[in-house]
A and B are shown apart, each in its own frame.
Chain A
Amino acid sequence: AQSVTQLDSQVPVFEEAPVELRCNYSSSVSVYLFWYVQYPNQGLQLLLKYLSGSTLVKGINGFVAEFNKSQSSFHLRKPSVHISDTAEYFCAVSDPRQGGSEKLVFGKGTKLTVNP
C-alpha cells in the first residue's frame, strides 16, 4: 500500500525567507503526486501536480516542486514567502494504474507559519 510522509508537522519561517516542505512517499510503481494548500477554515485547493514529464513542476503563488524518483520525494519550495502563505500544506500520491481518486493517499500535513 502507498503511504506519504511529510517530514515536518510545523515549519515557522520569516517573511521573504525561502522555504522547503518535505514529502516522501512509498511506492514501487509510477505515481501521480500532488500538493494541496488549505487556508484556515477552508477547503483544500490544488497547488501543483506531477503526472509525467518534467520533474520540476510549477504551481500557483510561486511554489515549485521537484519529483525525485530515486529518493521517492516530492519536496515543495518557494524562494521567498509572504505572510499570506501561512496555511497547511498536504502532499498526496495516487497510483495511475488504480484509477479513481478514492485511492489518493494524503500526508498528515505541514503547517507553514510565516512571521513578519
Chain B
Amino acid sequence: DGGITQSPKYLFRKEGQNVTLSCEQNLNHDAMYWYRQDPGQGLRLIYYSQIVNDFQKGDIAEGYSVSREKKESFPLTVTSAQKNPTAFYLCASSIGPFRDTGELFFGEGSRLTVL
C-alpha cells in the first residue's frame, strides 16, 4: 500500500542534542512538507520541498534543517537552536506544483519530547 512512513513514533532528547526525524513516501509525489503541531495551535509549516534537491522555509523554520536528496525521502533535523522543540511533528506529501489542489497526505507523526 502506498503511503508515508515516519519514524520514530516517539523520541526523547536531552537539551543540546540534535535529532533527526525520518519521512519516507512511496506515493511518487513530488512535494513533501514538515508541520509542527502544538495543542490548540493547529498545524504550522516548518519546511517544504517541491522537487528533489530543493526546499523552502515555511513559517517556523528557525532551529530546523532538512534535506531532499531523494524523491522518496525528506528528513527533518531538530537542532539544539530550536528553543522549544517538544511537539508532534507531521510529514506530508502532495502531487506537486502545478497539479496540486491543496490535498495533503500525512504520515502518522513523530512525538518529540525534550527532557
Contacts and interface: CB of A to CB of B under 8 A. Distances in A.
A43 B109 contact: yes
Interface in A82-103: 90, 92-94, 96, 99-103
A9 B40 contact: yes
Given A101-B94, A102-B58, A44 B41 contact: no
B106 A43 contact: yes
A108 B39 CA distance: 9
| Range class of the B interface residue count | 20 to 34
Contact of A100 (B6, B50, B92, B109): B50
A104 B108 contact: no
Contacts of B104: 36, 44, 46, 101, 104
Contacts of B26: none
B56 to A, nearest CB: 7
B109 A42 contact: yes
Q: How large is the interface on A (under 10, 10 to 19, 20 to 34, 35 or more residues)?
A: 20 to 34
A41 B107 CA distance: 11
Given A90-B43, A102-B48, A109-B42, A32 B101 contact: yes
Interface in B1-33: 4, 6, 31, 33
Interface string A52-90: 000000000000000000000000000000000000001
B102 A43 contact: no
A101 B106 contact: no
Interface of B: 4, 6, 31, 33, 40-43, 45, 48, 50, 56, 58, 90, 92, 94, 97-98, 100-109, 111
Interface of A: 9, 32, 34, 36, 41-46, 49, 51, 90, 92-94, 96, 99-104, 106-109
